Amino acid sequence: MAAYFLLSGAAWKALVLVGYGVVVHGLVDNLLRPILVGKDARMPDYVVMITTLGGMAVFGINGFIIGPTIAAMFIAVVHLSMTAPPRPQ
């Protein structure tokens, strides 16, 4: 959209849109995500996004926390089951 504004001659609108995008994206990705999700989760961004939206769809506003928590526990169980030594028979 910013490129369209720039090409159509609305440079001021393009600049405002790019500035808004940089500020909002920078705020969410660099400040809020580590606080809300945590860098130690080691979950890909797309998994965090999908589980957050899915959790909110199923559990309401509480799903913002419940969705990624369930996903993290599932990933941990899968990781543990795949790296556990085989049981002797």
DSSP assignment of 24-53: HHHHIIIIIHHHHT-GGG---HHHHHHHHH
Return d(Cα 12, Cα 9) in angstroms, integer: 9
34 vs 82, higher pLDDT: 82
Instruction: Give 52-57's long-range contacts (Cβ < 8 A, gap of 24+).
Output: none
Residue 82 has pLDDT above 70, yes or no: yes
pTM: 0.54
Residue pLDDT, tens place only, 20-70 = 888 887 777 666 666 666 666 678 878 888 888 899 899 998 888 888 889
- Distance from C-alpha of 34 to C-alpha of 49, rounded to nearest angstrom: 13
| Residues in CB range of 20: below 8 A, 6 or more apart | none
